[in-house]
Amino acid sequence: MIIEILKRSLIGIAFGALYTFIALTIMKFNHIEGSVAEVWNHMLASFVLGIYFGLSSFIYEKDQWSPLKATLIHFFLSIAIYFFIAINGMDSVGF
């Protein structure tokens, strides 16, 4: 079980890194400047989201739960993660 958690977490981090690389590439070619702290915060958020979505597939492996229950749990956990990242991100933009 621990190996599976680590494997899914690392796959999530890899996807987060890929999305961050794509965003940085777009920023580079559009000549958009960003501070190191800003890029670091966004990369951390990408990694957190990647880990969450890598691990959230465990929700759908519960045979006792109906598809509706699994979907609702996944939805509300996703909203909680997005709100956590959004609230912490407001500190970096001066709110």
List pLDDT tens digits, range 79-95: 999 999 888 876 655 54
- Furthest C-alpha separation in the chain: 51
Q: Is 94 left (phi over 0), alpha (psi -120 to 50) or beta?
A: left
**Residue 62 confidence (pLDDT) above 70:** yes
Residue 49 near residue 81 (C-beta atoms within 8 A): yes
Residue 12 near residue 55 (C-beta atoms within 8 A): yes
Nearest CA-CA partner of 52 in 9, 21, 10, 3:
9
Kindly state the average pLDDT of the residues 63-78.
Answer: 94
90: CB partners within 8 A, 6+ apart: none
Write down the domain spans for the chain. 2-92
List pLDDT tens digits, range 4-51: 999 999 999 999 999 999 999 999 999 999 888 888 888 999 999 999
- At residue 95, the pLDDT reads 47
